[in-house]
Structure 1
Amino acid sequence: MGFSLKFQFCLVSVMVLLPALCISQEYFVKSRATYYGSPDCLATPSGACGFGEYGRTVNDANVAGVSKLFKNGTGCGNCYQVRCTNPQICTDNGVKIVVTDYGEGDYTDFILSTRAYVMMAQSDFAAHLFAYGVVDVEYQRISCQYFGYKLQVKIKEHSKYPNYLAIVMLYQAGKNEILSVDIWQEDCKEWIGMRRAYGAVFDTANPPYGAITLRFQVRGSAGLTWVQAPNVIPSDWKSGVAYETDIQLY
């Protein structure tokens, strides 16, 4: 993947903004990384996590597709610090990214958005970094933090009210992984597990009428816990709308 004029435009348009992330792991793992060759310098809107446009623009568009770190979708929304290891052209801190897709190639763990790839380079050395195409990197898991946001439940666009409901969680803060989602069935007074359809998307046929209560099984710094979101989805839910919970993950 060589450097071209379309990436020169990307370099000019990139603003160096501090991502809402902080470091929370003590060691780095060696790997390799490359970048998406998209004309708009962003990731693909049809990422395997199911985040849609959120997966292209969250974290100032510093996002990545991953291979083994995808974890069958459980790794979606996780955050990492990635830095290339060539001290002549790379910064010490690298870039802090959010996992929004699955991708692999040439023994790489990360396929970065073009904007994220640029952030690994020292000033005036981005062209040199793009010329490599694939670079040696090291990475560590870090905590995600989204100032001003709580966990949101987005109704996927292909949901069909009222007979089919598909959801994806946005702004998953901390070092947490959402392993499963249950939906409360008031008529039979029990929790029913939703299916992990793909990536971070969970779905169910014939969801209950009325406001919908969910609970999430979360694995994080507090171990394995269940977190409940009462009536988070209104009775007249609409496809494409994101509903904010009262849950603040750390």
Structure 2
Amino acid sequence: MPFPLRSLLGSIFLFFLTAIPFVHASWKHVALRGHGPLIKPEPHHRPKFVPGPLKQAHASFYEGGFGTFGGACGYEDIDRDAYGLDTAALSRVMFKNGETCGACYEIKCLNSSQMCKPGQPTIVVTATNLCPPNYYQESDNGRWCNPPREHFDLAESSYLKIAALKGGIVPVQYRRVPCKRQGGIRFTITGNPYYNLVKVWNVGGAGDVVRVQVKGDDKLKWTDLKRHWGQKWETDATLVGQALSFRVRASDGRYSASWRVTPKNWQFGQTYQGKNFS
């Protein structure tokens, strides 16, 4: 017996009702034929930064006061930049031309009952400077920061938390740990209308930044900044007169996007706060 037309139309209608959710859910995974290859979306939910493996190195100390510890990372005044005195200058092999600036390390004195503090307490320090090599001396004779050694030159107050000053140089055990920061990532913009320098600081999670992008709310699309030195990033793109958004990538591959962190009338020399890594 022929299928009634009304029943046939009803069956077709039910088929599309059940198919539409599937088509909608799958749309973002489909590339239009003849319009280029499939663009795979970048993952947004990478796992949080976790402590790394334990390693061995040596640590020494240097004297100084607030405002003198920023050095090769470009933080300038680490007290103002919220790092305090629990900081370290890294040997060249650890510094990696400034790529490690902002990373956090857990350190404890090792295998020395005379030089290590009782109970072998640990400290967490932020990498804020370079311990420069001296190639006129051997790495085991006064220049512990020469390649290929891994070495921490600590602020004296931090060194005293784990070892006695009489030791001078002590063996340590260390590992990378997540950085815990108060508030959001800070962006300090300096320069002029034709050249912009952005200091990126107070970064949580992995702590060290490998990529920075900026976007304006007018003509400027997402634009990569170039590492100037340490955690200062530069661009000659026109930023003046636009509300700015920043996107930061840490060394563990996680991104943090900070939307419209500045007003349109932002000023050079000012600091603006964005979204931090949890």
TM range (shorter): 0.7 to 0.9
Q: Which residue of 1 aligns with 2:14?
A: none
For the residues of structure 1 that align with 2:254 and 2:86, how far apart are their CA atoms?
29
How many residues align? The count is: 211
| Shift of residue 189, structure 1, vs aligned partner | 5.8
In structure 2, the residue matched to 1:120 is: 162
What does the per-residue CA deviation read over 1:43-86, in whole Å, with 9 as the maximum and x for residues that have no partner?
A: 72451111111268734311011122222222111110112212
- How high is the sequence identity, in percent, across the aligned residues? 23
Kindly indicate whether the alpha-carbon contact (under 8 Å) linking 1:55 and 1:63 is maintained by their aligned counterparts in 2.
no
State how far apart, in whole Å, the 2-side matches of 1:50 and 1:195 are.
15
2:245 is the alignment partner of 1:213: yes
Answer whether contact 2:256 2:276 (CA < 8 A) is retained. no
Amino acid at match of 1:140: R
* CA distance in structure 2 between the partners assigned to 1:120 and 1:43 by the alignment: 23
SS in structure 1 at match of 2:82: helix
Kindly state the Cα deviation for residue 202 of structure 1 after the two structures are TM-superposed: 0.3
1:182-217 per-position Cα deviation (integer Å, ceiling 9, x unaligned):
122556563221111001100112423311122122
| 1:164/1:48 CA distance change after superposition, 3 Å | same
Q: CA deviation at 1:236?
A: 2.7
Equivalent position of 1:28 in the other structure: 54
SS at match of 2:264: coil
| 1:217–1:226 contact (8 Å) kept in structure 2 | yes
| Secondary structure at 1:61 match in 2 | coil
Partner of 1:6: none
Task: Say whether 1:37 aligns with 2:69.
Answer: no
Structure 1 residue ranges without an equivalent (≥5): 1-22, 122-128
Matching residue of 2:189: 155
Match of 2:200 among 169, 178, 195: 169
Matched residue, 2:174: 139
User: Which runs of no fewer than 5 residues in structure 2 stay unpaired?
Assistant: 1-48, 134-142, 146-150
For the pair shown, the structure with the greater C-alpha radius of gyration is: 2
Name the one with the larger strand percent: 1
* In structure 2, C-alpha distance between the alignment counterparts of 1:166 and 1:35, rounded to whole Å: 31
1:78-97 superposed matches below 5 A = 78-85=103-110, 86-91=112-117, 92-97=120-125
Is residue 2:129 matched to residue 1:101? yes
Letter of the structure 2 residue corresponding to residue 234 of structure 1: P
Among residues 165, 171, 178, which one is paired with 1:130 in the alignment? 165
SS class of match (1:58): coil
**Cα pair 2:73 2:128 within 8 Å, conserved:** yes
> Compared with structure 1, are the counterparts of its residues 187 and 102 closer, same or farther at alpha carbon in structure 2 (3 Å cutoff)?
same
Counterpart of 1:179 in structure 2 is 210
Coordinate RMSD, CA, aligned: 2.5
Structure 1 residue 232 displacement after superposition: 1.5
Runs of 4+ in structure 1 over 4 Å off: 185-189
